Amino acid sequence: MKTTCQSEFGKIKSAVIKRAKDAFVSDQLLEAQWRGLHFLGKPDLTAAINEFEEFESIVANDGATLFHLPPDETVSLDSMYCRDAAVATDHGMVLCNMGKASRVHEPEALRRFFAEHHFEVLGQIKNPGTLEGGDCAWVDANTLAVGESYRTNSEGIEQLQRILAPFGVKIIVVSLSHYKGPNDVFHLMSIFSPIDRDLALVFSPLMPLGFRNDLLRRGFKLVEVLDAEFESMGCNVLAIAPRKCVLLKGNPKTKALLEKVGCDVFEYDGQEISLKGGGGPTCLTRPLQRVI
């Protein structure tokens, strides 16, 4: 057994989360921000708090130690999707530089939090580079796939490569499509969710062919999300342990496909915390250490 930060499928040992009550704060804040942040609708605060408690209990019940980000007036409702502000490595955290302008203060809020809890910071992406954690996924212990998207640009990827190169980490650049444009939330992990060392959930219609073929060459079995469940975040699945997944309710076909390949699937209600803000279970967590 090995403890590492460079895995997407190992059993989560520790993670950072931001509860809905600490991100959404009040009905007044929700009313002031949801339209400008391109939420699909105004979240119901009470329902959002209840949904997040359900989600958190699933992750915590599997034994993970959870660190809670506090309320912070410098950041927005989007700060609940805390994966995006940092990348975890075995050598320290890399603070991102957000591609969404309204989220630019989140990495600094994480820096303060990491300092308070004595988590090492390895580096930070700086202008003109942009990088968001939802575009970064470990393919194996030394290979990080990074989506080039409206949120993550080539300069940000080059900076990340310079930070990680001394540790032998290879970056695979995955050029994502325009899809719905710059205002939409479309990260690499919208179409690629590793759930074991050789198993991943994917949405092939939006996956670059070169990256898909590379996964197959590496021996991955690909579980294909159907068109009907892509918009309901069927492809955004959090592995809390190998073949043990957290999935947003409303994706029964995806659940059945995962169970068919031997996965245990835990579902949560996410109308308020996931569907309206465009952040699924991977977005709601910033895993720190996993055991493989």
Spatial distance between the Cα atoms of 197 and 49, rounded to a whole number of angstroms: 33
Exposed, middle or buried: residue 54 (CB in 10 Å: 0-12, 13-18, 19+)?
Answer: middle
* 102 close to 84: Cβ distance less than 8 angstroms: no
Spatial distance between the Cα atoms of 19 and 53, rounded to a whole number of angstroms: 8
Query: pLDDT by residue (tens digit) across 152-199?
Result: 999 999 999 999 999 999 999 999 999 999 988 899 999 999 999 999
- pLDDT at position 183: 86
Spatial distance between the Cα atoms of 79 and 37, rounded to a whole number of angstroms: 11
Query: pLDDT by residue (tens digit) across 18-55?
Result: 999 999 999 999 999 999 999 999 999 999 999 999 99
Residue extents of the structural domains in the chain = 3-291
Residues of the chain with pLDDT under 70: none
Looking at residue 10, its amino acid is G
Q: How many CB atoms lie within 10 A of CB 127?
A: 9
- pLDDT at position 62: 87
The CATH architecture to which 3-291 belongs is: 5-stranded Propeller (3.75)
